[in-house]
Structure 1
Amino acid sequence: MPRTVVFQRQLNGIEMIDAEIAWAAVQRRDRSFDGRFVTGVLTTGIYCRPSCAARHPARENVRFFVDGPTARAAGLRACLRCKPDEVGRDQQALAKAVAMLDVDDTPRLEELATAVGYAPHHFHRLFKRAIGVTPAAYIRAKRGKRAEAALVRNDRVTDAIYDAGYSGPS
Protein backbone atom coordinates (compact mmCIF):
# COMPACT_ATOMS: atom_id res chain seq x y z
CA MET A 1 0.00 0.00 0.00
CA PRO A 2 1.60 3.30 -1.00
CA ARG A 3 2.06 5.74 1.83
CA THR A 4 0.22 9.02 1.58
CA VAL A 5 2.21 12.14 2.30
CA VAL A 6 1.14 13.65 5.61
CA PHE A 7 3.41 16.70 5.39
CA GLN A 8 1.95 18.16 2.26
CA ARG A 9 1.92 21.94 2.58
CA GLN A 10 4.68 24.39 3.43
CA LEU A 11 4.29 27.69 5.21
CA ASN A 12 7.39 29.90 5.36
CA GLY A 13 9.59 26.87 4.70
CA ILE A 14 7.99 24.82 7.52
CA GLU A 15 6.14 21.65 6.58
CA MET A 16 2.56 21.58 7.81
CA ILE A 17 0.50 18.51 8.58
CA ASP A 18 -2.39 17.96 6.19
CA ALA A 19 -5.27 17.66 8.67
CA GLU A 20 -7.55 15.84 6.21
CA ILE A 21 -5.07 13.02 5.64
CA ALA A 22 -4.12 12.87 9.32
CA TRP A 23 -7.75 12.69 10.48
CA ALA A 24 -8.50 9.95 7.95
CA ALA A 25 -5.52 7.97 9.32
CA VAL A 26 -6.80 8.41 12.89
CA GLN A 27 -10.29 7.27 11.87
CA ARG A 28 -8.80 4.11 10.30
CA ARG A 29 -6.36 3.64 13.21
CA ASP A 30 -3.69 3.27 10.53
CA ARG A 31 -0.47 1.96 12.08
CA SER A 32 1.59 3.05 9.09
CA PHE A 33 1.21 6.66 10.30
CA ASP A 34 2.55 5.96 13.80
CA GLY A 35 5.71 7.98 14.37
CA ARG A 36 4.84 10.45 11.61
CA PHE A 37 2.58 12.64 13.78
CA VAL A 38 0.62 12.57 17.03
CA THR A 39 -3.01 13.47 17.66
CA GLY A 40 -3.71 15.94 20.45
CA VAL A 41 -7.13 16.08 22.08
CA LEU A 42 -7.62 19.53 23.59
CA THR A 43 -10.54 18.62 25.88
CA THR A 44 -8.67 15.80 27.64
CA GLY A 45 -5.16 17.26 27.37
CA ILE A 46 -3.79 13.99 25.93
CA TYR A 47 -1.89 13.16 22.75
CA CYS A 48 -1.92 9.74 21.08
CA ARG A 49 -0.59 7.74 18.17
CA PRO A 50 -2.83 7.70 15.09
CA SER A 51 -3.51 4.00 15.74
CA CYS A 52 -4.53 4.39 19.40
CA ALA A 53 -7.40 2.08 20.35
CA ALA A 54 -9.07 4.70 22.55
CA ARG A 55 -12.45 6.07 21.52
CA HIS A 56 -12.22 8.73 18.80
CA PRO A 57 -12.67 12.31 19.99
CA ALA A 58 -14.86 14.86 18.27
CA ARG A 59 -13.01 16.31 15.27
CA GLU A 60 -13.29 19.90 16.53
CA ASN A 61 -11.29 18.97 19.67
CA VAL A 62 -8.35 17.48 17.74
CA ARG A 63 -5.06 19.09 16.70
CA PHE A 64 -2.17 17.34 14.96
CA PHE A 65 1.44 17.73 16.06
CA VAL A 66 4.68 16.68 14.39
CA ASP A 67 5.89 14.78 17.45
CA GLY A 68 5.48 14.28 21.19
CA PRO A 69 7.73 17.13 22.33
CA THR A 70 5.74 19.57 20.22
CA ALA A 71 2.48 18.30 21.75
CA ARG A 72 3.98 18.54 25.26
CA ALA A 73 5.03 22.13 24.53
CA ALA A 74 1.36 22.82 23.76
CA GLY A 75 0.44 21.57 27.24
CA LEU A 76 -0.62 18.00 26.45
CA ARG A 77 0.54 14.77 28.11
CA ALA A 78 1.17 11.34 26.58
CA CYS A 79 -1.61 8.76 26.42
CA LEU A 80 -1.15 5.96 28.94
CA ARG A 81 -2.83 3.47 26.61
CA CYS A 82 -0.79 3.78 23.40
CA LYS A 83 2.35 5.39 24.91
CA PRO A 84 3.20 7.49 21.83
CA ASP A 85 6.71 8.40 23.00
CA GLU A 86 7.88 4.82 23.48
CA VAL A 87 9.26 2.50 20.84
CA GLY A 88 6.75 -0.31 20.59
CA ARG A 89 7.47 -3.97 21.15
CA ASP A 90 6.59 -4.68 17.53
CA GLN A 91 9.17 -2.20 16.22
CA GLN A 92 11.85 -3.67 18.47
CA ALA A 93 11.03 -7.19 17.28
CA LEU A 94 11.09 -6.13 13.63
CA ALA A 95 14.42 -4.36 14.03
CA LYS A 96 15.90 -7.46 15.67
CA ALA A 97 14.48 -9.75 12.97
CA VAL A 98 15.81 -7.60 10.11
CA ALA A 99 19.22 -7.47 11.79
CA MET A 100 19.17 -11.26 12.11
CA LEU A 101 18.22 -11.63 8.42
CA ASP A 102 21.00 -9.26 7.38
CA VAL A 103 23.54 -11.52 9.12
CA ASP A 104 22.06 -14.91 8.26
CA ASP A 105 19.43 -15.39 5.57
CA THR A 106 18.74 -19.06 6.30
CA PRO A 107 16.55 -19.04 9.46
CA ARG A 108 13.12 -20.58 9.19
CA LEU A 109 10.06 -18.55 10.16
CA GLU A 110 9.65 -20.51 13.39
CA GLU A 111 13.24 -19.81 14.46
CA LEU A 112 12.95 -16.13 13.60
CA ALA A 113 9.63 -15.70 15.41
CA THR A 114 10.88 -17.51 18.51
CA ALA A 115 14.03 -15.37 18.60
CA VAL A 116 11.97 -12.17 18.69
CA GLY A 117 9.28 -13.52 21.04
CA TYR A 118 6.25 -14.01 18.81
CA ALA A 119 4.20 -16.92 17.50
CA PRO A 120 5.15 -17.72 13.87
CA HIS A 121 1.74 -16.90 12.36
CA HIS A 122 1.51 -13.59 14.25
CA PHE A 123 5.08 -12.60 13.42
CA HIS A 124 4.48 -13.40 9.74
CA ARG A 125 1.52 -10.95 9.67
CA LEU A 126 3.44 -8.33 11.66
CA PHE A 127 6.49 -8.53 9.37
CA LYS A 128 4.40 -8.33 6.20
CA ARG A 129 2.34 -5.39 7.48
CA ALA A 130 5.42 -3.40 8.53
CA ILE A 131 7.98 -4.30 5.83
CA GLY A 132 5.57 -4.92 2.96
CA VAL A 133 6.73 -8.45 2.14
CA THR A 134 6.91 -11.76 3.99
CA PRO A 135 10.17 -12.82 5.67
CA ALA A 136 10.75 -15.36 2.87
CA ALA A 137 10.23 -12.72 0.17
CA TYR A 138 12.59 -10.38 2.06
CA ILE A 139 15.28 -13.10 2.06
CA ARG A 140 14.73 -13.82 -1.65
CA ALA A 141 15.00 -10.13 -2.55
CA LYS A 142 18.17 -9.75 -0.49
CA ARG A 143 19.68 -12.84 -2.10
CA GLY A 144 18.72 -11.54 -5.57
CA LYS A 145 20.51 -8.24 -4.92
CA ARG A 146 23.59 -10.16 -3.79
CA ALA A 147 23.40 -12.23 -7.01
CA GLU A 148 23.29 -9.06 -9.13
CA ALA A 149 26.34 -7.68 -7.34
CA ALA A 150 28.15 -11.01 -7.67
CA LEU A 151 27.43 -11.14 -11.41
CA VAL A 152 29.19 -7.79 -11.82
CA ARG A 153 32.24 -9.01 -9.87
CA ASN A 154 32.54 -12.55 -11.27
CA ASP A 155 33.28 -13.73 -14.78
CA ARG A 156 31.34 -16.96 -14.29
CA VAL A 157 27.62 -17.14 -13.58
CA THR A 158 28.06 -20.29 -11.52
CA ASP A 159 30.48 -18.55 -9.16
CA ALA A 160 28.08 -15.62 -8.81
CA ILE A 161 25.19 -17.94 -7.94
CA TYR A 162 27.08 -19.64 -5.14
CA ASP A 163 28.60 -16.36 -3.88
CA ALA A 164 25.09 -14.95 -3.54
CA GLY A 165 24.08 -17.79 -1.23
CA TYR A 166 22.05 -20.00 -3.53
CA SER A 167 22.48 -23.70 -2.93
CA GLY A 168 22.26 -24.68 -6.59
CA PRO A 169 21.93 -23.30 -10.10
CA SER A 170 18.18 -23.84 -10.32
Structure 2
Amino acid sequence: MCQRGNWIINLFVILCYLSTTISLPCTEQSNNTNQNLPKDWPCSWNDGVIPFVLDLFSVSPHRLINLVKKGHEFIEIRSCLRFKEYDPTIAAKITNFTYLYYTYSGVLESCCLKFYIKPYGRRLVVITPLCNKPAETGHATLHAMGLFHDNPTYEYFRVLLIHT
Protein backbone atom coordinates (compact mmCIF):
# COMPACT_ATOMS: atom_id res chain seq x y z
CA MET A 1 0.00 0.00 0.00
CA CYS A 2 1.25 3.51 -0.79
CA GLN A 3 2.43 5.60 2.09
CA ARG A 4 0.98 9.09 2.30
CA GLY A 5 2.88 12.19 3.30
CA ASN A 6 6.00 13.72 1.88
CA TRP A 7 6.52 11.19 -0.90
CA ILE A 8 6.98 13.95 -3.48
CA ILE A 9 9.88 15.40 -1.50
CA ASN A 10 11.29 11.90 -1.09
CA LEU A 11 11.00 11.41 -4.85
CA PHE A 12 13.08 14.53 -5.52
CA VAL A 13 15.81 13.57 -3.10
CA ILE A 14 16.01 10.03 -4.46
CA LEU A 15 16.21 11.30 -8.03
CA CYS A 16 19.06 13.63 -7.09
CA TYR A 17 20.82 10.79 -5.30
CA LEU A 18 20.43 8.46 -8.30
CA SER A 19 21.53 11.19 -10.72
CA THR A 20 25.05 11.05 -9.36
CA THR A 21 25.35 7.28 -9.68
CA ILE A 22 23.82 6.52 -13.07
CA SER A 23 26.83 7.95 -14.88
CA LEU A 24 29.09 5.20 -13.48
CA PRO A 25 30.51 2.72 -16.01
CA CYS A 26 28.43 -0.38 -16.52
CA THR A 27 29.67 -3.93 -16.25
CA GLU A 28 27.74 -7.15 -16.00
CA GLN A 29 27.96 -7.14 -12.21
CA SER A 30 28.10 -3.42 -11.41
CA ASN A 31 24.45 -3.11 -10.45
CA ASN A 32 24.69 -6.03 -8.06
CA THR A 33 27.38 -4.29 -6.05
CA ASN A 34 26.26 -0.66 -6.41
CA GLN A 35 24.01 0.01 -3.44
CA ASN A 36 22.98 3.42 -4.78
CA LEU A 37 20.99 2.00 -7.69
CA PRO A 38 17.81 -0.07 -7.43
CA LYS A 39 18.47 -3.81 -7.44
CA ASP A 40 16.91 -4.34 -10.88
CA TRP A 41 18.42 -1.28 -12.59
CA PRO A 42 19.50 -2.34 -16.12
CA CYS A 43 23.02 -1.40 -17.20
CA SER A 44 21.58 0.00 -20.42
CA TRP A 45 19.90 2.75 -18.37
CA ASN A 46 23.17 4.00 -16.85
CA ASP A 47 23.32 6.80 -19.42
CA GLY A 48 20.12 8.20 -17.89
CA VAL A 49 17.97 7.48 -20.97
CA ILE A 50 14.97 5.33 -20.12
CA PRO A 51 13.27 3.67 -23.11
CA PHE A 52 9.48 3.38 -23.14
CA VAL A 53 6.57 2.42 -25.35
CA LEU A 54 2.90 3.33 -25.22
CA ASP A 55 0.02 0.90 -25.56
CA LEU A 56 -1.93 2.79 -28.22
CA PHE A 57 -4.60 0.08 -28.18
CA SER A 58 -5.50 0.83 -24.57
CA VAL A 59 -8.91 2.10 -23.48
CA SER A 60 -7.96 5.77 -23.69
CA PRO A 61 -4.77 6.29 -25.75
CA HIS A 62 -4.99 10.11 -25.88
CA ARG A 63 -5.33 10.32 -22.11
CA LEU A 64 -2.45 7.86 -21.71
CA ILE A 65 -0.16 9.89 -23.98
CA ASN A 66 -1.00 13.10 -22.14
CA LEU A 67 -0.47 11.65 -18.65
CA VAL A 68 2.78 9.88 -19.55
CA LYS A 69 4.18 13.00 -21.21
CA LYS A 70 3.43 15.10 -18.11
CA GLY A 71 4.81 12.41 -15.80
CA HIS A 72 8.05 12.23 -17.78
CA GLU A 73 8.38 16.02 -17.78
CA PHE A 74 7.86 15.98 -14.00
CA ILE A 75 10.80 13.59 -13.57
CA GLU A 76 13.04 15.17 -16.23
CA ILE A 77 12.80 18.64 -14.70
CA ARG A 78 13.92 17.26 -11.34
CA SER A 79 16.66 14.86 -12.46
CA CYS A 80 19.11 14.01 -15.20
CA LEU A 81 16.86 11.18 -16.42
CA ARG A 82 15.43 11.37 -19.95
CA PHE A 83 12.78 9.22 -21.59
CA LYS A 84 12.95 8.00 -25.19
CA GLU A 85 9.91 6.57 -26.95
CA TYR A 86 10.23 3.44 -29.08
CA ASP A 87 7.88 1.77 -31.51
CA PRO A 88 6.27 -1.13 -29.58
CA THR A 89 6.88 -3.67 -32.35
CA ILE A 90 10.56 -2.76 -32.59
CA ALA A 91 11.11 -2.71 -28.81
CA ALA A 92 9.57 -6.18 -28.45
CA LYS A 93 12.03 -7.63 -30.99
CA ILE A 94 15.24 -6.24 -29.43
CA THR A 95 17.10 -8.89 -27.47
CA ASN A 96 17.78 -8.15 -23.78
CA PHE A 97 16.07 -4.76 -24.04
CA THR A 98 14.48 -3.41 -20.87
CA TYR A 99 11.85 -0.73 -21.32
CA LEU A 100 8.77 0.74 -19.67
CA TYR A 101 5.45 -0.26 -21.22
CA TYR A 102 2.65 2.18 -20.43
CA THR A 103 -0.98 1.17 -20.66
CA TYR A 104 -4.19 2.78 -19.41
CA SER A 105 -6.78 1.02 -17.29
CA GLY A 106 -10.21 2.55 -16.80
CA VAL A 107 -10.63 0.62 -13.56
CA LEU A 108 -10.44 2.76 -10.44
CA GLU A 109 -7.44 1.31 -8.67
CA SER A 110 -4.30 2.64 -7.09
CA CYS A 111 -1.61 4.01 -9.36
CA CYS A 112 1.01 2.82 -6.87
CA LEU A 113 1.48 -0.67 -8.29
CA LYS A 114 4.50 -2.92 -8.83
CA PHE A 115 4.02 -4.69 -12.16
CA TYR A 116 7.18 -6.41 -13.23
CA ILE A 117 8.58 -9.71 -12.09
CA LYS A 118 11.83 -10.04 -14.01
CA PRO A 119 14.64 -7.49 -14.10
CA TYR A 120 14.79 -7.33 -17.91
CA GLY A 121 12.33 -6.97 -20.76
CA ARG A 122 8.99 -5.17 -20.67
CA ARG A 123 8.10 -3.45 -17.40
CA LEU A 124 4.41 -2.70 -17.22
CA VAL A 125 3.26 0.70 -15.95
CA VAL A 126 -0.52 0.84 -15.49
CA ILE A 127 -1.94 4.35 -15.50
CA THR A 128 -5.40 4.56 -13.93
CA PRO A 129 -7.96 7.33 -13.46
CA LEU A 130 -6.46 7.91 -10.01
CA CYS A 131 -3.08 8.71 -11.63
CA ASN A 132 -4.24 12.03 -13.02
CA LYS A 133 -1.42 14.26 -11.78
CA PRO A 134 2.14 14.39 -13.16
CA ALA A 135 3.61 13.48 -9.75
CA GLU A 136 1.42 10.39 -9.53
CA THR A 137 2.38 9.24 -13.02
CA GLY A 138 6.02 9.91 -12.11
CA HIS A 139 5.56 7.86 -8.94
CA ALA A 140 4.22 4.89 -10.94
CA THR A 141 7.10 5.29 -13.41
CA LEU A 142 9.68 5.16 -10.64
CA HIS A 143 8.13 1.94 -9.33
CA ALA A 144 8.57 0.42 -12.79
CA MET A 145 12.17 1.61 -12.79
CA GLY A 146 12.83 -0.38 -9.62
CA LEU A 147 12.26 2.08 -6.78
CA PHE A 148 9.91 0.80 -4.13
CA HIS A 149 8.91 2.04 -0.71
CA ASP A 150 10.82 -0.80 0.97
CA ASN A 151 14.01 -0.01 -0.99
CA PRO A 152 16.83 0.85 1.50
CA THR A 153 17.78 3.95 -0.53
CA TYR A 154 14.17 5.14 -0.55
CA GLU A 155 13.78 4.43 3.17
CA TYR A 156 17.04 6.20 4.03
CA PHE A 157 15.86 9.44 2.42
CA ARG A 158 12.35 9.16 3.86
CA VAL A 159 13.77 8.92 7.39
CA LEU A 160 16.29 11.69 6.71
CA LEU A 161 13.58 14.09 5.52
CA ILE A 162 11.24 13.34 8.44
CA HIS A 163 13.94 14.31 10.94
CA THR A 164 15.07 17.53 9.26
TM-score by length of 2: 0.19
Give the TM-score taking structure 1 as reference length. 0.19
* Higher share of residues assigned helix: 1
Which has the higher Rg, Structure 1 or Structure 2? 1
